[in-house]
Structures are given as structure tokens and as C-alpha cells.
A and B are shown apart, each in its own frame.
Chain A
């Protein structure tokens, strides 16, 4: 279907731009620490994906179990870590402010792509 195809192409383009920004922020100043931001944002949806199927017994189906909560808590921690890491590194003058801004924008693009992808191509059997 053409609509899905367009979305895929757009999302992959945005993902490529995000990674480009992150790698550029490392390579321009020859300091490869901001690459950790890419790693963080790639790992960010992992806890939710892991713990999403732990909840959901038959009748209290939506969001009221411990493992699901833990997954959300961890996801939130990882996302904030992704934004905080370059700021902290800039504050202690390990990386340049330019690299900080570029890696934050790139990381946000990567994470936004992952979120948008999972929102658009959600499996149809999740009926809530």
C-alpha cells in the first residue's frame, strides 16, 4: 500500500538524518563521546517492549501491573538520560556546546522515528 510505503521512506529519511547529526557531532570535534547518545536512544524503547507483555491478565487488562510500570519507569529514565548526558558533558567541558546541541537534536530525531514507527505500524491485535 502506497501510504505505508511513503511513511516508511519518510521515517527512514528522518532516522538517517538523526544518525548523521549524531555522527557529525562526534566527527567534527574528533570526540566520540556523543555517540553514547545514539546508543541510549536506540535502547530507549527496549524496556517498554520487553515488559509490555508481562501485564494483561484477562480482566484488568490495561496498565495496572508491576512489570508494565517498571518498563515505563525504565523507559523514562533512559530517555531523560539521553537528553541529560550531552548537557552534563558540555557542562564539564568534555564536549563542545555545538556537539551537545547536534547530538540532542539527532537523538530526538532517532527516538521520534522509533516512536512514530511503532505508533504507525502497530499490530492490529492490540485493540485499545
Chain B
């Protein structure tokens, strides 16, 4: 009978474990992380909404001839953000204990949880990649003025901030509380 290696934990997700984030925030670490994630989430969406509202209200500077702006924020611009949102939703709907396999459940449940985690992260990465390609294809290739490429940059920063928000939320919710420490010790 072969025993598993002592440093091998069959319940973990990644080959290399996530780095242990030990900030000196004490027992409020989880709370602060969640507030930070919410702030990042709102900031992300407001960055994009800013571009959308700006595009809807775009006009020439006063005293200038009124030319219709060459480009607007259309539905295509919303798609990467929606992908990122879906990915974030999927990631956060997964039971964290299920991934760690804490309930000693069957291995297929753990497998399914990891599959959905992968799908969620794929959605987020897809949203980010989509926003970058949108920036390049729709705004940079056409040589618009700075005023209009801002829409593309806002889109990219929205998706980056959404991903950061998901990561911060994940780390905050996986942070060990005092209670967990007292159990492991």
C-alpha cells in the first residue's frame, strides 16, 4: 500500500498552490477584500458607462462646425463586459468548499466544480481578449482622434478591473479566518 506524498493534497485545484496572502489586516481581511472587490466592480462598470454616456452626448466644441462623430459605442462594445460579468457570476456561484473537496464528496462533484471554474475563467479571459481586440480593430486601426479611442481604452480597463475584482473576491473569500486557524493548529 502506497501512501501519498506528504506535500500532495489531492483536493487542491492547481499544481502550484495559490500564494498565501498574509497581509497584516487581522480578522478584517475578508471584509476589506470584499469591500475592495465591490468597489473595483462598480469602478469597472462606471468606466465603461462613462464612455457610453460620453458617446451618446458627443458634440463638437462650441463655435465649431457640427460634424456627426465618426464612431459611437454600439452593442459590440458591450459584449466583452457582458462576457466578463457572466464569467464572474459563474466563478462566484461555485461552492468554495466543493473545490477544496472539504465535504469528502464524490470525486465527480469536485471534477464538475473545477470544470465550471475553468469555464468561468475562460469567460473572463475571453472578455478581456475581446475588449483588447475591439480596441485594436474598431478604434486603433481606423485612426480615430484621441477622443474616440478613449471608448476602446475604457472598455479594456473595464474588463481588467472586472478580472481584478473577481480575483480579489476569490482571495478574500478563501482567506483563512481566525476560526480556521484555531482548527488547524
Q: Which of B35, B50, B54, B56 contacts A76 (CB 8 A)?
A: B35
Whether the pair B35, A88 counts as a contact (CB closer than 8 A) is no
Whether the pair A80, B53 counts as a contact (CB closer than 8 A) is no
Tell me the bound Cα distance from A74 to B27 in angstroms: 21
Whether the pair B46, A73 counts as a contact (CB closer than 8 A) is no
Q: Which of B43, B54, B57, B173 contacts A80 (CB 8 A)?
A: B43
Q: Which of B27-62 contact A (CB under 8 A)?
A: 27, 30-31, 34-39, 41-43, 46, 49-50, 53-54, 56-57
Instruction: Find chain A residues with CB under 8 A from B107 CB.
Output: none
Q: Identify the interface centre among A60, A80, A85, A93: most chain B CB within 10 Å of its CB.
A: A80
Whether the pair A76, B38 counts as a contact (CB closer than 8 A) is yes
Tell me the bound Cα distance from A75 to B41 in angstroms: 12
Tell me the bound Cα distance from A33 to B42 in angstroms: 19
Q: Which of A50-103 contact B (CB under 8 A)?
A: 59-60, 62-64, 69, 72-81, 84-85, 87-89, 91-94
Tell me the bound Cα distance from A60 to B49 in angstroms: 39
Q: What is the interface residue range for chain B against chain A?
A: 20 to 34
Instruction: Find chain A residues with CB under 8 A from B38 CB.
Output: 72-77, 80
Prevailing SS type, chain A contact patch: helix
Q: Which of B27, B37, B41, B49 contacts A88 (CB 8 A)?
A: B49
Q: Smallest CB-CB separation from A70: which chain B residue?
A: B34
Q: Mark B136-155, 1 if CB is under 8 A from A, else 0.
A: 00000000000000000000
Q: Smallest CB-CB separation from A94: which chain B residue?
A: B57
Q: Identify the interface centre among B34, B43, B56: most chain A CB within 10 Å of its CB.
A: B34
Q: When A80-B43, A92-B50 are in contact, do A64 and B177 touch as well, CB less than 8 Å?
A: yes
* B contact set with A: CB distance below 8 Å: 27, 30-31, 34-39, 41-43, 46, 49-50, 53-54, 56-57, 169, 173, 177, 179
